[in-house]
Amino acid sequence: MELLTIILLIIIGILAFLLLKKEKVLGIKTDENKTEEQVKVIESKDYRKNIYDLLNYIPEGIIILDKSKKIIFSNNSANNWFQIKLNENISGYLRNPDLLISIDKAFDGKKVTDFEIEIRNQAVLRLNITIYLDQNNLFFDENSCFLFIRDLTEFYKFQQLKSDFVANVSHELRTPLQSIKMGLETFENNPDIKQNSEANNLLPIMISQSERMENLIRDLLSLSKIELQEHIRPTHEIDLVELIDYVIKTYEKILSKNKIKLIFNKIDNCKIIGDRDKLIEIFTNLIDNSIKYSDKNKEIIITAKKDGDLVIISVADQGIGIPKESIHRITERFFTVDPSKSRSVGGTGLGLAIVKHLVSQHRAEMNINSIENQGTTIDIKFNSL
């Protein structure tokens, strides 16, 4: 559960406890002549002050709005970030159309998910915002909307530094590695060297390992770029059936070589909002993994189906499977169930880590089910158009 949600529940719990206790320190009086359903609660200035003090102790920013989006309270953290003045419209401080639309939805009683925005004032701020509608008038005499704001700017700066470091190192390694690979290929084609039995044994291993290192650097660069763009939502209309057909065609020769049969169960109207190149990368990685970790004469079954507002794509293989205790770690970078098998097929341990981040960028959900020595099924659930 998100930290802000936990804090919100704690605040509401404390407040509910105090209301039930009806202690004098809060300035609450009860008309004893009424039934429990008719209890009249009278709030005093001291009660309101206690509520404000409680909210001011919270390190995250809290802004409370009325239905016209005017600010009726802001805690110390929010004041320090935005220099807020009460009774002004929130749009003067957080200029983001998605935020304003989400506030309207909250007041209409619709469910609103957490989201991140970027604010460019004197400095660039990356903020995570949780919206909560107080329909019970716990804090004010009218329905009010709470914005719980967490500053993620430093976190994203660190992510940027990490990604830049990985990208720079990978780029610097790529050039010398290309030279080494070219040299090894030259040796391999030299007839004099071919007569040397030791060289004949070593060269294929060296070339294979240089290719694996090249794949690793490529995947590291790809993952670094994906992490930086994960917050950017795709905007294009994509037909998943057409896209998966395209990816399958690129693997026809490999499938034939490995004697693996691929079956694609299609449906009509399988459209989502997505990024074509990144969706191709998702299904390329999934199909590639299924081929690498399946024996000959096995099947890979891709199934497209709809479930309400969701489009679900399942990729099921009959490969070596994943032990139950390792499934929760399988999307970690560099984690492999069988390192020797991964090396032998040219795996880098980054394929599913890349898929996880790309699925997250599409605001989709990935579920992995596997039985060791029987196969693995990966379901990806997209919001359909």
Between 136 and 56, name the one with better pLDDT: 56
3-state helix, strand, coil in the chain (%, to 5): 50, 20, 30
CB 243 within 8 A of CB 279: yes
From the list 375, 355, 374, the residue with the least C-alpha distance to 366 is: 355
Query: What is the pLDDT, as a whole number, of residue 211?
Result: 79
Task: Evaluate if residue 91 carries a pLDDT over 90.
Answer: no
Task: Evaluate if residue 144 carries a pLDDT over 60.
Answer: yes
Query: What is the pLDDT, as a whole number, of residue 34?
Result: 45
CATH fold for the domain made of 3-151: Beta-Lactamase (3.30.450)
- The 8 Å CB, 24+ separation contacts for 210-216 are 210/177, 210/180, 210/181, 210/184, 211/181, 211/346, 212/343, 212/346, 212/348, 213/173, 213/177, 214/174, 214/177, 214/178, 214/181, 215/346, 215/348, 216/348, 216/350
Question: What's the pTM?
Answer: 0.59
Query: What is the pLDDT, as a whole number, of residue 23?
Result: 42
Query: What is the pLDDT, as a whole number, of residue 198?
Result: 75
Side-chain-facing half-sphere of 50: CA atoms under 13 Å: 17
Task: Evaluate if residue 42 carries a pLDDT over 70.
Answer: no
- Backbone φ and ψ of 375, nearest 5°: 140, 175
Interval 226-248: pLDDT, tens? 877 777 888 899 999 999 999 99
Give the range among 138-142, 215-219, 335-339 with minimum mean pLDDT.
Answer: 138-142
Give the range among 40-44, 99-103, 161-165, 251-255 with minimum mean pLDDT.
Answer: 40-44
Average pLDDT over residues 111-130: 80
Interval 290-312: pLDDT, tens? 998 888 889 999 999 998 889 99
From the list 306, 330, 302, 299, the residue with the least C-alpha distance to 314 is: 302
% of the chain at pLDDT higher than 90: 19
Average pLDDT over residues 241-256: 92
Interval 329-381: pLDDT, tens? 888 887 787 777 776 676 777 888 889 999 999 999 999 999 888 899 999 99
Q: CATH top-level class for 234-385?
A: alpha beta
